[in-house]
Structure formats: C-alpha cells, structure tokens
Amino acid sequence: MSNATPSPETQQEAMKIAKATQKPGQTKEQTKLIAQGIEKGIALYKKQQKAKARDRDKERKKQLKQKQVDTTQLQDVTETEQSVSTSSNLLPWGLLIASWAGFAAYIMSN
C-alpha cells in the first residue's frame, strides 16, 4: 500500500495541517512538500494500526482456541470422573446385597 496514492480525504487533511503550520514567506511548493510528508506520516500510522489490529485479532483467536482446548480437556476429565464414580457407587450396593444373601443362606442352613 505504500506505493498506492493516499485517499483524497487524507490528502485534504494533510494539506489543511500543512497550511495551518505554514510560516510567513513559505512557498506553495514547500507547503506541498510538507503536505506530502504529512500524508506519508498518516499512511504509516494507518499501516501500524492495521498491524496492531491484526496482532490483536491473532491473539484473540489464539486465546479462543486455547479456551476451546481447555474446555474439551475439562469435559474429558469430567466424563472419566463420572464413569469412575458410577462404578464405585455400585460396589457398596453389591457388597450389601451379597452380605444379606450370605446372611439369609446362613439362617436357612440352621
């Protein structure tokens, strides 16, 4: 974009700034040169802002992706804990039933 001509709005704004800072005895050619320098400065500023915006967007996407990975890992851990807790909930009930069956068998045998 550095080879492209600045927008008319940028050129007008640069000329306004150059005329506002014009010194007595300064020629039109000198004012034009100052305006061109201001245009380059504005173009550089816009370029830097676009680069910063791209960097912020990349960082935001990176954080979003990391958050999704963390959420997926958390879901996997939760599912594993649920399957472990389900099997561990059955153990006490199984032992209780087995002990009552053994107790009943003992009573019946006597």
**How far is 13 from 41, CA to CA, in rounded Å?**
12
Q: In sequence order, what E strands does 26-103 have?
A: none
pLDDT grade for 36, boundaries at 50, 70 and 90: very high
Phi/psi of residue 94, nearest 5 degrees: -60, -45
Higher pLDDT pick, 83 / 52: 52
- Residue 46: pLDDT band (50, 70, 90) is very high
